[in-house]
Structure 1
Amino acid sequence: MNERILDSFTKDALETARANNTYRSMRLMETPESSCVKIRMPDGASQEQILLASNSYLDLANIDELKQAMAQTVLEWGTGSGGARLTTGNKTPHQELEEFIAKFKGEESAITFNTGYMANVGTISALCGKNDFIFSDELNHASIIDGIRLSRAKCFVYKHNDMADLQRVIQEADKSRAYAPTLPAPRKLIVTDAVFSMDGDLANLPELLRIAKENDCLLMIDEAHATGVLGKTGRGLAEHYGCAHADVTVGTLSKTVAAEGGFVAGKQQLIDFLRNKARSFIFTTAMAPAVAAAACNNLRFIDAHPERVQNLRDNVKFFCDALRREGVNVDLSPSAIVPIVIGDEAKAMQVSAKLQEQGILIPAIRYPTVVKGQARLRASLMATHTQEQLQTAASIIAQAVKEGV
């Protein structure tokens, strides 16, 4: 092993990251995920924080009845699955979860993956190949980008949420076909996040459906930050708009659902196809049965408690209003994500650190997650935050932003 080479390039990369204020480290949380947590501070002490940094938007991870249900499943099914789903790993909890996802999403069928990342990578690379065209929003998640790269399809990136630009790149792609008339007609796929994770804004599903139909494209949406958040009962983007579903709906079980895994929901034939062609499904050990059962129980809880979705929406409005009253320029978010743009990477890190000292845990998001000069505090809310907590947080955030530390 050549340690000199390894040490040299890794050291250079880390030093560059530190110099550019993009170096990343982990904080230690000493209590379960909820609206308030205890964090290990740099001096070794534990400090209670209002958590404005969780994707567990409905705060399901620490509900006693759901924890007990998962514990009972471990006793019944053991701690692991023992194999891939197509060999020995397929268990009753996996099937029950997929059946309930399909019901919850209003689709014919569903398939689960070990992570949402694997769902995107596996689905895109199964649906498209090197002669196909993919049209991708410029702010799509890294898992979508990596899925496109693995597919080897030709990618056309359109301006964020710009339907006119999407139409333009589709026409550009169609014109390029004139130079390769001997190749089979390309499959065309539009792919987008439903909720964009750094800005909290929504994809225009009605327009995307129209454009896809008019241009013979498939439409795929990733509802990682939409499931359990959007729509009257948390069923996602289609419920929010009151429109038809995309051809392919991807989601995660590790955010609002507060378990682990990813899924694709759609027509039965699509799911049968992915079961046979998605490499990130075929060539991996199945998620533990207890995890599948927990995801299913948590989805049932969301289904039975639509008021929790409404509580989240009410909290987002209260928090945005409170920030504006304090002089912070934010828009009313349609999702659970409220970005507070700082701009400079170093300043964003300083403000975030200052807030943590004052009991508010809200991360600084920097390049390359967002473009340079657009560093921000990314607040993500829970249904269980109290108005008192949110008002306190808004006041402290406003003061820290105004002072610049």
Structure 2
Amino acid sequence: MPDAALDFAGNDYLGLALEPRVREAAADGARRFGAGATASHLVSGHLSVHETLEQKLAEWLGRERALVFSTGYMANLGVIQALADRSTALFQDRLNHASLLDGAALAGARSRRFHHRDTADLERLLARSEAALKLVISDGVFSMDGDVADVTELAAVARRHEGLLMIDDAHGIGVLGDTGGGCTEGTSPTEVPLLVGTFGKALGTGGAFVAGDASLIDHIAQFARSYVYTTAQPPAVTAATLEALKIVRDEPERRARLADNIALFRREAASLDLPLSDATTPIQPLTLGDEARTLRWAARLDACGVAVGAIRPPTVPDGQARLRITLSARHARADIERLLEGLARCRQEDTPCATA
């Protein structure tokens, strides 16, 4: 993607990646703590800045403890591997992120896949299981479709069958909820014992966390291989995340601006008869079906200086290739109008886009 292109492909939902305060916090973190943590958390790499971030996260999310991982992928791998083994029964939404499926594979546990957002199907599968540990896992906001899990119902079903619920809210943290706490905001630790989130989306930095009961998090810290056997997150990134977290909590107007941009895009896209989904999150997929058509639309938008994601199988099922369009609080109305103009021209198939 050219530097000058309008970015409707990335996940910087609140515009914090380029926020001067966040960038300055990263620079200050490097000056204070150095360029790297130099060791794993359990050796000497766990610095005061990591500890502060974990405390702030736990307080914000209403959990006893949080644990910072270097990436979201490593968080999901580590949490599942630390808790599950071949005797564990895992129940995963069919559209869960690849890292959740890979975590099950690393643990040697079989994943039973329930129909997307279908808690009746989940209940049917749970009722058949006699496993000592039943781990129910779902994305919070689904990364390719933009729809949101019914966390309350998932929690109720899991509790009825003595299961442990894990929500990966990578795309909801910072965006959803009155305080940006994501799709689990307002739930108790009993309802959602394991909450995973990332910093590389709405918070604009990098890394991830898991939050939950202190004893559960301590177990993960001791046995998650992707946490134990890797160098701790660079302190500059952690310092930047601390500042981003403060902004998320103190500036709800960013979420309001994002909501306005989502509403504008959906209203105007509907008037153009574009193939919208029902998603009301920043992830707005336009399912075109045909891979060649999807690539053609993406190339035409690129020629207009507008970057969108062209998503094809195996990331999505056959016949569901799509443009994955993401909205941000930093988009101006003119930016969204330029995107819509490009999409309108794409409907004309062979009409080239004029450079704006």
Question: Aligned pair 1:96/2:77, yes or no?
Answer: no
Are 2:149 and 1:227 aligned? Answer: no
User: Which is bigger in relative contact order (C-alpha 8 A, separation at least 6)?
Assistant: 2
1:200 deviates by: 0.1
The question of 1:145 aligning with 2:101 is answered: yes
Partner of 1:77: 33
Q: Distance in 2 between matches of 1:401 and 1:218?
A: 46
1:375 is matched with which residue: 306, 321, 332? 321
User: Helix, strand or coil for the counterpart of 1:379?
Assistant: strand
Q: Which residue does 1:132 correspond to in 2? A: 88
Aligned with 2:137: secondary structure?
strand
1:165 aligns with 2:121: yes
- SS for the counterpart of 2:147 is coil
1:326 touches 1:395 (CA, 8 Å); kept in 2? no
Determine if the alignment matches structure 1 residue 206 to structure 2 residue 162: no
Matched to 1:307, the amino acid is: E
Distance 2:246 2:32 in 1: 20
Once structures 1 and 2 are overlaid, which stretch shifts more, 94-103 or 383-392? 383-392
Give, in angstroms, the shift of residue 238 of structure 1. Answer: 2.1
Contact 1:341/1:376 (CA < 8 Å) preserved in 2?
yes
1:118 to partner: Cα distance: 0.4
Deviation per CA, 1:116-143, whole angstroms, max 9, x where unpaired?
0000000011111111100000000000
Quote the Cα distance in structure 2 between the aligned partners of 1:338 and 1:366.
15
Taking every aligned residue pair, what percent have the same amino acid on both sides?
39
The one-letter amino acid paired with 1:204 is D
Residue 78 of structure 2: SS of its match in structure 1?
helix
Distance in 2 (CA, whole Å) between partners of 1:225 and 1:171 is: 30
Matched to 2:305, the amino acid is G
Q: Distance in 2 between matches of 1:303 and 1:97?
A: 14
Contact kept, 8 Å, 2:22 with 2:241, in 1: the verdict is: no
CA RMSD of aligned residues (A): 1.4
Partners of 1:320 and 1:333 within 8 A in 2: no
SS of the residue corresponding to residue 145 of structure 2 reads coil
Q: Identify which of 280, 285, 304 aligns with 1:334.
A: 280
Alignment of 1:8-157 (within 5 A): 27=1, 29-30=2-3, 38=4, 49-157=5-113
TM-score by length of 2: 0.95
The TM-score normalised by the length of structure 1 is: 0.84
Q: Which moves more between the two structures, 67-76 or 338-347?
A: 67-76
Tell me how far apart the structure 2 counterparts of residues 314 and 308 of structure 1 sit (CA, whole Å): 10
8 Å Cα contact 2:39-2:232 kept in structure 1: yes
Shift of 1:329: 2.8
Q: State the SS of the aligned residue for 1:396.
A: helix
Distance 2:341 2:267 in 1: 11
Aligned to 1:253: 199
Task: Return the letter of the residue paired with 2:71.
Answer: T
Distance in structure 2 (CA, Å) of the matches to 1:273 and 1:350: 49
Deviation at 1:243, TM superposition (A): 3.8
Structure 2 unaligned segments of length 5 or more: list them.
352-356
Contact persistence 1:320–1:331 (CA under 8 A): no
* Aligned partner letter, 2:120: A
1:7 corresponds to which residue?
none
**Which amino acid in the other structure matches residue 323 of structure 1?**
A
The SS at the match of 1:340 is: strand
The aligned runs of 1:299-310 (5 Å cut-off) are 299-310=245-256
CA distance in 2, matches of 1:310, 1:270: 35
Moved more, 211-220 or 379-388: 379-388
Alpha-carbon distance, 1:333 to partner: 2.4
> Which amino acid is 1:62 matched to?
L
Structure 1 CA distance, aligned partners of 2:146 and 2:49?
33
Cα distance in 2 between the residues matched to 1:129 and 1:402: 53
For 2:78, the aligned partner's letter is G
Aligned equivalents of 2:279 and 2:226: distance in 1? 33
| 1:231-252 superposed Cα distances (whole Å, 9 cap, x missing partner) | 122111122xx44351100011
CA-CA distance at 1:186 after TM superposition: 2.3
Compute the displacement of 1:171 (Å).
2.2
Contact 2:270-2:276 at 8 Å conserved across structures: yes
What is the rounded CA distance, in whole Å, between the counterparts of 2:69 and 2:27 in structure 1? 22
Of 239, 256, 271, which residue of structure 1 is paired with 2:217?
A: 271
2:294 to 317, 340, 348: 348
Letter in 1 for 2:34: G
Contact 1:232 1:310 (C-alpha < 8 Å) held by counterparts: no
- Are the aligned partners of 2:21 and 2:243 in contact in 1 as well (CA < 8 Å)? no
d(CA) in 1 for partners of 2:180, 2:262:
15
Distance of 1:252 and 1:331 partners within structure 2: 25
Structure 2 distance, partners of 1:373, 1:286, is: 41
Moved more, 392-401 or 114-123: 392-401
Q: How many residues align?
A: 349
Cross-structure match for 1:364? 310
Q: Which runs of 5+ in 1 are unaligned?
A: 1-26, 31-37, 39-48, 178-184
